[in-house]
Structure 1
Amino acid sequence: MPFILRSCVLSILAIPLLLLACTPAELQTPPSPDVEFGQLFVDVQMKELFPDSKTFADAEPLIPAKQILRAYEEQKDKEGFDLRAFVNEYFRFPDAPNNHFVSDTSLSPEAHINALWPILTRKPTGEVKGSLLALPRSYVVPGGRFGEIYYWDSYFTMLGLQEAGEDSLIEGMVSNFAHLIRYQGHVPNGNRSYYLSRSQPPYFSLMVRLLAETRNNDQIIAQYLPELLKEYYFWMGATNEDDMKKTADLKPGEAYRRVVRLPGNYQLNRYYDDSDTPRPEAYKEDVAIAQHTGRKAEEVYRDIRAGAESGWDFTARWFRDGKTMGTIHTTDIIPVDLNCLLYELEMTLAEGYTLINDQAHSQSFKNLAEKRKKAIQQFCWNKEDGFYHDYDFKEARQTPIASLAAVYPLFFNIATEDQARLVAKRLKDDFLKPGGLTTTLVQTGQQWDAPNGWAPLHWMAIQGLRNYKETALAQEIRDIWVEENVRVYKATGRMVEKYNVYDTSLLGGGGEYPLQDGFGWTNGVLLKLLAEDKKSEPKQ
């Protein structure tokens, strides 16, 4: 099936305008700091100069890297050399701009969140700063240690921006992601050079739909058709039409980059990373994990990076033993949520081609989506426990970890009515806790497992249940989650990244870094859910 991009008038008009808006900085790609600074980078990270490995990965060199490296070679072996003093002399470490924000808990949660938008918004700088990729339009960051844009976070943040009437900010963020697709070939994990080798859950098509809804203009989908197609190529291991042939000859059980061939001539996708080295932003942590596994270090690093691409970094979903990080094997797993998102991308491409009156290509993408839907049902639905699971294509069996990824087939209307009813029952019986939905049913110390609950998964669950008229359960989950968010805000003045849904007297925890506040997607989902109360109030 040919994948030929037929440019529509809107696309032709839109791209030159965006090109004109770009400064030279936005067309530059700075090198990843581990590559640029070599042994100096390794020494700083392994000697633990900073509690958070991300600190040095985000540092801005004050002079050209070659001069810093020359100075390091000249000084490092001298008696009394102080590595910390050297780093402080040659690098600047950006402050978190919201460090001095003081919450006023007498404000409503809505007023608090709306006061945070300017604090979390970053404007274009017009210059390259260390590992940060310059973007042409303003954008919202999550907050805390996350001072850059993040791919899948941004969709849930945009939900709140839509409710706040920040339409131009939504438009700018969609434009930024289109810019990244155009110049990097995909949306990276975030706008840092060290994130370029991977992406995150592909929500761009949902962002485009959200913008189209916000502007009440379906032609926006046609406008972004070139970028939607380019993102699809990325996930299918290609850069253009001819590249699509690379996966055609795969045998069942074989994989190429993010594409996996399965029996029955089916093709589904996995998370991956084009690099197999320690993550610069978690360098010493990754080295420590790999050293104690008995596996090839490169294999472990790629599985860790693929876990980061999933957005669920980290979780028992990716662990062979369901418990320990050293058994991570993300690249062996076909995630149910990823493939539902790619189903949505295929359906959005079909709609885009319909809008430019190309019915042949529209039908081709509908066929691809339908085939993916059948594959999801065949390989990810478990009849025995009435739930969706990930699929280990190396072992040719489903993985045992039950997680909230199972709500994605409901959100995208892939599940049957009977399947949705069974998923709803499992959510009610096993996942719903005093503070909301637990992410998985196992406690590993990882942040994407019990006892934590997360805003994006609550949104996907609530909307998925509503799609199948499971309205009572959806409302119960919604009310519990809103109550927990508001309670923590009133008690602490903070909107946080994740919540302990088992014991609401405790804050969320686990993972590689302390609990972060801000927080983009929590703000976005809560603002959207709170607005439902006002919309349901009787008019006076």
Structure 2
Amino acid sequence: MIFSLNIDHILQKLLQQEDTDGDKKITIEDKGSKAFEIVSVTGEKYMVKGTYHLSNLLQELVISKNKGNTIAKIPLTKIVEPPVQRTSRMIRDYYWESLTRKMDETGIKRLISDTKNKTLTATTLRIYVPFHDTLAFHYYKNLETKLPIKTCKLPETITPEYVQSINNKPGILSLKLTSENGKIQGVPFVVPGGRFNEMYGWDSYFESIGLLIDGREDLAKAMADNFQYEIEHYGKILNANRSYYLTRTQPPFYTSLIQEVFNITKDKDWLKSHLETAIHEYETVWMVQGKRLTANKLNRYFAEGIGIPPEVEEGHYDAILKPFANKQPCTVEDYIRKYQNNEIDNPFLDTYFLHDRTVRESGHDTSYRIEGNCADFNLVELNALLYKYETDFAHVIKTQFNDNFKTAVGKTYTFEYWNEKAKQRQTLSNQYLWNASKGMYFDYDTKTQQQSHYIAATTFIPMWAEMASKEQAQQLLEKALPLLLEKGGIAGSTEESRGEISDERPQRQWDYPNGWAPHQMMIWKGLLNYGYHQEAQQLIYRWLYMITKNVVDYNGTIPEKYDVVEATHKVFAEYGNVGTDFEYITQEGFGWMNASYQYGLSLLDEAYIPKLNSLTYPEDLF
């Protein structure tokens, strides 16, 4: 049955009756009757009952209205659509497209009004272009006659001093453009959503997992092409393509992305080009002694830069800066100005902000696991990711290039070369990161030469990379899993590790009780790598149950993160929860959360889908 509905009339009446808190959503917190009769323009009637079905009606009305319609033709099947199928369909058919951007004229128009466009005038967007990208420079220069933008050419060598000098002139960094038959277009990328309106490093990989499942290998391939552009022109895969991120990279997933794209496209020339770029990234970003390579031959994050990270909200560092300002004496604002202008020498703050920037480079911003010492740590997850780089290089060279890969600069690599690198890292990780008595991996502090005792979800990442032995995997399952398993999945840390929370020590978003999509996705794959099928099924179900229940109860909400202890999107930590602030219908969900839903469904046994649709408690199944 299809209902032809007068959109404005039904919408007004529906909200008046059911949206009792006035937030333009229908959720379990509204106090309406939870029963609304729709009457079509041809007289058909139907009683829509329950929060979920009412919110579906609201969403379908708005989808039709956004297309310019005054009459919505809504099939009954969409109003009563099972939540699992509807959530997956909305991600596949709507959210990915809404999250897709380009750095050409159309995309630039959108960026001009972005909340991060903190330039000297509210309507001017600076676009920073690499020194050697003449195509982009001329393209944006020509756009200056049509749009309120300013094109800025970067120097050939980008230094921390240069980046500091433009921190008060922030802007967007160009990504790859292509020219075909005289028409210039931006290579597309998918953004996380909400206020994150640029291409992020590790978000892009996890989004691509969902894109590939949904048949959008074109977008996944485009993300890899933009990664390649960033390495070639900016020297690294960036935290995100903003000017203040020029000295900062992100967790390395490039080899995983190019392999997964190649497995579908089978484009060997494309693979060869990206493999060479990935090797270059490995050698120049990660394996430079004294920077991201430490004396013990394991790796750390190390975000070079000078001064205070400019992207944080005003007042974020006041508690740290105020004692120094009081000694001057001067205001915090004056102290910041003098410190940023190098008028004040403060080694303590230099070190503090080095660690702070490095936390942000790690992707885990923020967590008490690494707060205040991140640049001193060989992190478990980073070394597992680089182990996967090494084994990926070995595998691809052996299977696709006859065990002989020669780069454009004449260097030759073999399976054995990379296999030996991986073995060395595995041995060192066992020496420094593995704790046999506790049966877990821990971060290693190179300064104190001791392991951290902080138990975090990242202890499982060596299983994703297949760096752990079978015995180590078994230990992780027995020792770590019970400590981190919660109602909605795996928590970022244990409550004990996080410690007591107070006004002086507030919650950090990557710690207990919160859970994040990338951790869940990697842990699922890690369990499956070692044959723990049923354990993986339980974790997948718990995560999907939490997402599905929040979709049902809260008008389709798919946010950035969850409190997995309470299995809710109501997270009380810094930065709020992106993806919860919308009216009528979420247009985007959230990038890697969308991907985790599609990935989880692709791995979940079919027998659990009806249970998920009926919102059967995980505790009743496992």
TM (norm. structure 1) is 0.71
- Asked if the contact 1:222–1:352 (Cα under 8 Å) also holds between the matched residues in 2, the reply is no
Q: CA RMSD in A?
A: 2.6
- Paired residue secondary structure (1:179): helix
> 1:505: how far off?
4.8
Q: 1:175 to 1:316 in 2, by over 3 A?
A: same
Equivalences for 1:68-467 in 2 at 5 Å? 108-114=86-92, 115-125=94-104, 128=127, 131-136=171-176, 137-217=187-267, 220-236=270-286, 238=288, 247=289, 256-262=290-296, 267-282=297-312, 284-285=314-315, 287-291=317-321, 296-319=348-371, 328-354=372-398, 355-357=400-402, 358=404, 361-362=413-414, 363-442=416-495, 443=498, 445-467=507-529
- Paired residue secondary structure (1:280): coil
Q: 1:308 to 1:285 in 2, by over 3 A?
A: farther
Greater mean deviation of Cα atoms: 218-227 or 130-139:
218-227
The whole-number CA distance in structure 2 between the counterparts of 1:365 and 1:534 is: 36
Equivalences for 1:51-62 in 2 at 5 Å? none
- Asked if the contact 1:452–1:509 (Cα under 8 Å) also holds between the matched residues in 2, the reply is no
Q: Which residue of 2 aligns with 1:519?
A: 590
Q: 1:413 to 1:534 in 2, by over 3 A?
A: closer
> 1:513: how far off?
4.1
The whole-number CA distance in structure 1 between the counterparts of 2:597 and 2:488 is: 14
> 1:503: how far off?
1.2
Q: 1:280 to 1:105 in 2, by over 3 A?
A: farther
> 1:428: how far off?
3.4
- Asked if the contact 1:125–1:134 (Cα under 8 Å) also holds between the matched residues in 2, the reply is no
- Asked if the contact 1:439–1:450 (Cα under 8 Å) also holds between the matched residues in 2, the reply is yes
Amino acid at match of 1:519: F
> 1:196: how far off?
1.1
Q: 1:105 to 1:531 in 2, by over 3 A?
A: farther
Amino acid at match of 2:226: N
> 1:105: how far off?
7.8
> 1:506: how far off?
5.7
Equivalences for 1:495-506 in 2 at 5 Å? 495-505=558-568
- Asked if the contact 2:509–2:573 (Cα under 8 Å) also holds between the matched residues in 1, the reply is yes
The whole-number CA distance in structure 1 between the counterparts of 2:104 and 2:274 is: 25
Greater mean deviation of Cα atoms: 120-129 or 385-394:
120-129
The whole-number CA distance in structure 1 between the counterparts of 2:521 and 2:370 is: 23
Greater mean deviation of Cα atoms: 435-444 or 487-496:
435-444
- Asked if the contact 2:579–2:590 (Cα under 8 Å) also holds between the matched residues in 1, the reply is yes
Greater mean deviation of Cα atoms: 140-149 or 278-287:
278-287
- Asked if the contact 2:489–2:515 (Cα under 8 Å) also holds between the matched residues in 1, the reply is yes
- Asked if the contact 1:447–1:510 (Cα under 8 Å) also holds between the matched residues in 2, the reply is yes
> 1:226: how far off?
2.2
- Paired residue secondary structure (2:298): strand
Name structure 2 gaps, 5 residues minimum.
1-62, 68-77, 109-126, 128-148, 150-169, 177-186, 325-346, 406-411, 502-506, 581-588, 610-622
Q: 1:535 to 1:235 in 2, by over 3 A?
A: farther
The whole-number CA distance in structure 2 between the counterparts of 1:388 and 1:416 is: 12
- Asked if the contact 1:428–1:473 (Cα under 8 Å) also holds between the matched residues in 2, the reply is no
- Asked if the contact 1:313–1:447 (Cα under 8 Å) also holds between the matched residues in 2, the reply is yes
The whole-number CA distance in structure 2 between the counterparts of 1:406 and 1:276 is: 31
Amino acid at match of 1:271: Y
- Asked if the contact 1:308–1:314 (Cα under 8 Å) also holds between the matched residues in 2, the reply is yes
- Which of 530, 535, 540 is 2:601 aligned to? 530
Q: 1:121 to 1:293 in 2, by over 3 A?
A: farther
Tell me the alpha carbon deviations over residues 395-414 of structure 1, each in whole angstroms, 9 at most, x when there is no partner: 11100101111111111111
Name structure 1 gaps, 5 residues minimum.
1-97, 239-246, 248-255, 320-327
The whole-number CA distance in structure 1 between the counterparts of 2:569 and 2:272 is: 47
Amino acid at match of 1:369: A
Identity over the aligned pairs, expressed in percent?
Answer: 28
Greater mean deviation of Cα atoms: 505-514 or 182-191:
505-514
The whole-number CA distance in structure 2 between the counterparts of 1:404 and 1:302 is: 24
> 1:512: how far off?
3.4
The whole-number CA distance in structure 1 between the counterparts of 2:293 and 2:453 is: 22
- Asked if the contact 2:537–2:605 (Cα under 8 Å) also holds between the matched residues in 1, the reply is no
Tell me the alpha carbon deviations over residues 368-422 of structure 1, each in whole angstroms, 9 at most, x when there is no partner: 1110111111111111211111000111110010111111111111111111011
- Asked if the contact 2:195–2:578 (Cα under 8 Å) also holds between the matched residues in 1, the reply is no
Amino acid at match of 2:171: S
Q: 1:138 to 1:501 in 2, by over 3 A?
A: same
Amino acid at match of 1:402: I
> 1:157: how far off?
0.6
Tell me the alpha carbon deviations over residues 270-309 of structure 1, each in whole angstroms, 9 at most, x when there is no partner: 0111103211111635542542688711111110000000
- Paired residue secondary structure (1:331): helix
Tell me the alpha carbon deviations over residues 460-500 of structure 1, each in whole angstroms, 9 at most, x when there is no partner: 11110111112211110011111111111122211111111
More helix by share: 1
> 1:424: how far off?
1.1
- Paired residue secondary structure (1:318): coil
Q: 1:208 to 1:105 in 2, by over 3 A?
A: farther
> 1:123: how far off?
2.2
The whole-number CA distance in structure 1 between the counterparts of 2:104 and 2:443 is: 41
Q: Which residue of 2 aligns with 1:58?
A: none
The whole-number CA distance in structure 2 between the counterparts of 1:215 and 1:226 is: 18
- Paired residue secondary structure (1:282): coil
Q: 1:344 to 1:218 in 2, by over 3 A?
A: farther
Amino acid at match of 1:480: R
Tell me the alpha carbon deviations over residues 329-357 of structure 1, each in whole angstroms, 9 at most, x when there is no partner: 11111101001111111222334444444
Tell me the alpha carbon deviations over residues 418-443 of structure 1, each in whole angstroms, 9 at most, x when there is no partner: 11011112343111111111110134
> 1:131: how far off?
1.2
Q: 1:293 to 1:306 in 2, by over 3 A?
A: farther
Q: 1:158 to 1:105 in 2, by over 3 A?
A: farther
Q: Which residue of 2 aligns with 1:8?
A: none
Q: 1:289 to 1:183 in 2, by over 3 A?
A: farther
